[in-house]
Structure 1
Amino acid sequence: MAHDVTLIATAAMGLESIVAKEVKQLGYDVAIENGKVVFEAPVSAIPRCNLWLRSADRVKVEAGRFRAVTFDELFEATKALPWERFITEDGKFPVSGKSVKSTLYSVPDCQAIVKKAIAERLKLKYGVAGNLVETGALFKLEVAILKDEVVLTIDTSGSGLHKRGYRTGQGEAPLKETMAAALIMLTNWEPDEPLIDPFCGSGTIPIEAALIGQNIAPGFNREFASEQWKWVKKQYWEEAFEEVEDKAWYNQKLDITGSDIDHQMVDIAKENAMEAGLGDLIAWKQMQARDLSIRKPNGYLIGNPPYGQRIGDREAIASLYSDLGKVMANHPSWSVYILTAFDTFEQQYGHKPTKKRKLFNGFIQTHYYQYYGKKQ
C-alpha cells in the first residue's frame, strides 16, 4: 500500500495534548479531537507509533468517515469503502461498536450491518461465493457513531499500548503504564536529575521514568496485531526496530528510586524492573513516606498515593499527605507532582500547588498537583 493512511492515536481524557506532542516528535502533523489525536502518515508510521508512543492507549487506522441516519446509509457507505486494501481474504474482522447522541442508537444492529457490508465488499473483490473463512490475521474493527457521524477504524495495536510486557505482578489499584508515562512527561524532569516515587506500588512510575531516561521505546518488549498484516511490510517493522535500537541511550546514568510501605509490593516492583530489562538501574526501598531521605538538591518527586477510595481509610491518608508535606517543606529545590482524588489534599499537604490539572485515572476523576521547586 503506497498511499498514506489516516491514523488515530487514542488518549485518556486530559492527555490528548501529551499524545499529540509525542506524535509530532515522531514527525507527523496532528489534529486533536476529544479522546484522540488524528494524523495522516505513511504506512511505516504504524510500527513507529506502536513502538514509541508512551501515553497513547492504541493506534488505529481510520478506514472511513461519513454521516448516516438510516441503516441503509450505514450499509451502503460502509460497503463503498476499499476494505480489500486492508483486510485479506482470510482475515478475521470482528466488529465492536458505540453510539452516542445518534439516530442509529442500537449498537448490536450497527455492528451487524457493518460486518455484513464489509463481508459483501470482500466477497465481491475476492470472488468468494460462500462465506469468508476468517482464519487469518486479526483486523479488529470498531464502528463509532457520534451525533450521526460514523467513524470506522481498525486497531493496529492488539493489546492496549499500556501492556508493555514487563508487568509480572501488580497491587490492588495499579496505575496504567500509559498514565505513569504521561505523569512524568508533564514534568520538566531530565534524566540526569534525581527522581523519587515514595508510593511506587508495582513500580510503574520509576520503570516508565527509566525507559524515558534511557530513551527506550515502550513497545520494544511486546507484539502488535499489525505485525501480521501483509500491507504493513516486514521491512517497515525491521526499520522501526532498528530505529529503536539506534536511539536508545543505554549509557545514560539514572538516579531513580521507588519506595513503598509494603515490602511485597517492593519485591514485585523489582521483578517488574528486571522483566523490563532495567535490572539495577532503579533503587528500591521499603519505607514510609515520612521516613523519606533526600540527599541531593533539584530533584523530582512523582507519586500516585492511595486516594482513600479503594485502599486505606481517609484518616490514614490525610495523615500520609500531611507527613509528605512536612518532609518536602525541607527540600524547596525539589519539584513535587502528586496525582490524587483526595478532595482535601491541599489542606493536608499544607501548601497550595503551582498548578493543578484534571486527569482521569481509569474512571476516577483526579487532580495532578504540581509544586515547582526553586532550583539551587
Structure 2
Amino acid sequence: MTTNDVTLIATAAMGLETLVKSEVMDLGYTDVKSENGKITYKADYKGIARSNLWLRTADRVKLLTGEFNAYSFDELFEQTKALPWEDWLPEDAFIHVVGKSHKSTLYSVPDCQSIVKKAIVSRLQDQYKIYTNLEESGVRYKIEVAILKDKVTLTIDTTGAGLHKRGYRIEQGEAPLKQTLAASLVKLTNWTPDQPFVDPFTGSGTIAIEAALIGQNIAPGFNREFAAEEWEFLPPKMWDEALEEAEDLANYDQPLDIQGFDVDHRAIEMAQNNALEAGFADLIKWKQMNVKDFKPQTDVGYLVGNPPYGERLKDRPEVESIYKALGGIMKDYPKWSVYVMTSHEEFEKHYGTSASKKRKLFNGFIKTDYYQFFGKK
C-alpha cells in the first residue's frame, strides 16, 4: 500500500457538512465528496494526523477500509475477509467491532459485528500464519461496520475520544455546548481576528475560547492524543511533522479583542479556568454581567451567543425578556453583526426584528435555529 493510498471519512453533525467539507479542502485535499453526516476524501498517511489536528467542526476521522454490498452473512464474511487487514492491523491487535444497520437485509447489529470480527481474525490468522486464537494483547483498533440500504462501509476510527474533546475544558456547567459546535457557530460568521467579538451568555467560555483558537490559527487538536498515534503502520515522525506544521502556522502574536460575559459568577470562574488551560489566560476578557447591562464599546463588532432557550415553560418569561433586552440594545448598534442559536421558535418576535438569515442546527438532540443578523456595512 502506498503512503498516498488512504480514503478518510470526517463525520459531521447534521447541518455542518459544508463547514467540514471546506475545512478538509483548506487542508489541501481536493478529491472530496459530501454526503449526509460525512465528508469522504483521499489523503496520504499524514492526512490522518493533519485531519485530527486541524478539523474544528468534524466529530471524528475514520479510515475507510472497504465498501461493498452484502445481502447475506456469507457475503459479509467473505467480502470482509477479502480486504487487506494485515496492511493496518498487527498480529496482536485488540479488535473492537461496533456497528449500525439501517434499511438493510442484514439488520441484526450484534450478528454483523460478530461476523466482521470473525472475518478479520480469519484473515489475520492466514496472513500471519497463526494457528491458534489471536492474542489481542496490543493496541485497540475500533472498527465500525455500518450498513445502509445493504451497502456495507468498514472503517477504523483514527480519533479516539471525539474531536470535541480539545483538552482545555476542565470545568463545565449543565448542558455544555460541544466545542465542535461552538467552533461552527464562529465559523458561520464573517468575523475576522481584527474585529471585536463578544459572547454575552458565555457559560464555561467555549464559544470565546474557540474564537481565540480560530483567531490565532491554533490547531484545535494540538493539546491532545489520538487513537492512531499508537498504530504501527503510521511512523511517529509523521505525527511530529504534523505537530511542527501546526506550530509554524499558529499566529500567537495576533492581537484579539474577545470578551465573555455571564450573569453567573460561577460560570465566569469556570470560563477563566478553561481559558487558562487553553493558553489564553490574559487574552480573553471575562466579566460577570447581565446581558441587559451590555453596551458595545465600538461601532462595529460581532456578537455570538447561545442563550437559554426557555425549554421549561416556567423559564419562558425570563428568557423572552432577555431576548427583548438584547434586541433593544443591538438596535442602537446597526453595524454590529449578531448571531444567536436558540430552539425558541418565536425568538425574532421577542428580539424585535427578522434575521437576515436562519440556519437549522442541532445542539445535541435539540433542534435549534441559528439566527443571523448582518451588520450594516
Q: 2:220 aligns with which of 218, 221, 237?
A: 218
Residue 144 of structure 1 and its aligned partner are, at CA, apart by 0.4
Distance change (3 Å), C-alpha of 1:312 and 1:51: farther
Aligned CA RMSD, in angstroms, stands at 1.0
Residue 312 of structure 1 and its aligned partner are, at CA, apart by 7.0
1:75-94 superposed matches below 5 A: 75-94=77-96
Correspondence 1:318 to 2:317: no
Identity of aligned residues (%): 61
Indicate the larger mover: 216-225 or 289-298.
289-298
Secondary structure of the 1:93 match is strand
What residue in structure 2 maps to residue 147 of structure 1?
149
Distance 1:142 1:88 in 2: 18
Distance 2:95 2:353 in 1: 53
What residue in structure 2 maps to residue 26 of structure 1?
27
Residue 311 of structure 1 and its aligned partner are, at CA, apart by 10
Correspondence 1:10 to 2:11: yes
Residue 284 of structure 1 and its aligned partner are, at CA, apart by 0.3
What residue in structure 2 maps to residue 234 of structure 1?
236
- CA contact 1:306–1:312 (8 Å) conserved in 2: no
Distance change (3 Å), C-alpha of 1:96 and 1:311: farther
What residue in structure 2 maps to residue 37 of structure 1?
39
Amino acid aligned to 2:330:
M
Distance 1:340 1:35 in 2: 22
Residue deviations 1:218-237, cap 9 Å, x none?
00000000000111111110
- CA contact 1:201–1:265 (8 Å) conserved in 2: yes
What residue in structure 1 maps to residue 335 of structure 2?
333
Distance 1:353 1:102 in 2: 41
Q: 2:102 aligns with which of 100, 103, 106?
A: 100
Residue 310 of structure 1 and its aligned partner are, at CA, apart by 6.2
Distance 2:99 2:264 in 1: 41
Structure 1: 5+ residue stretches without partners: none
Secondary structure of the 1:6 match is strand
Q: 2:121 aligns with which of 119, 122, 128?
A: 119
Distance 1:308 1:76 in 2: 53
Residue deviations 1:80-113, cap 9 Å, x none?
0000111111111101110011111100000000
Residue 316 of structure 1 and its aligned partner are, at CA, apart by 1.0
Amino acid aligned to 1:368:
Y
Distance 1:123 1:314 in 2: 62
Distance 1:373 1:147 in 2: 45
Q: 1:176 aligns with which of 172, 175, 178?
A: 178
TM-score (norm 2): 0.98
Secondary structure of the 1:239 match is helix
Distance 1:228 1:184 in 2: 32
1:180-329 superposed matches below 5 A: 180-309=182-311, 313-329=315-331
What residue in structure 2 maps to residue 163 of structure 1?
165
Distance 2:339 2:234 in 1: 40
- CA contact 1:166–1:276 (8 Å) conserved in 2: yes
Residue deviations 1:279-324, cap 9 Å, x none?
1100001111111121112200000111112697111111111111
- CA contact 1:193–1:298 (8 Å) conserved in 2: yes
Amino acid aligned to 1:152:
L
Amino acid aligned to 2:29:
Y
Indicate the larger mover: 353-362 or 129-138.
129-138
Amino acid aligned to 1:27:
G
| 4+ residue runs over 6 A deviation | none
Secondary structure of the 2:340 match is strand
Amino acid aligned to 1:8:
I
Residue 135 of structure 1 and its aligned partner are, at CA, apart by 1.5
Residue 2 of structure 1 and its aligned partner are, at CA, apart by 2.3
Residue deviations 1:97-140, cap 9 Å, x none?
10011111100000000011001001111111111111211210
Secondary structure of the 2:153 match is strand
Distance change (3 Å), C-alpha of 1:156 and 1:311: farther
Residue 193 of structure 1 and its aligned partner are, at CA, apart by 0.2
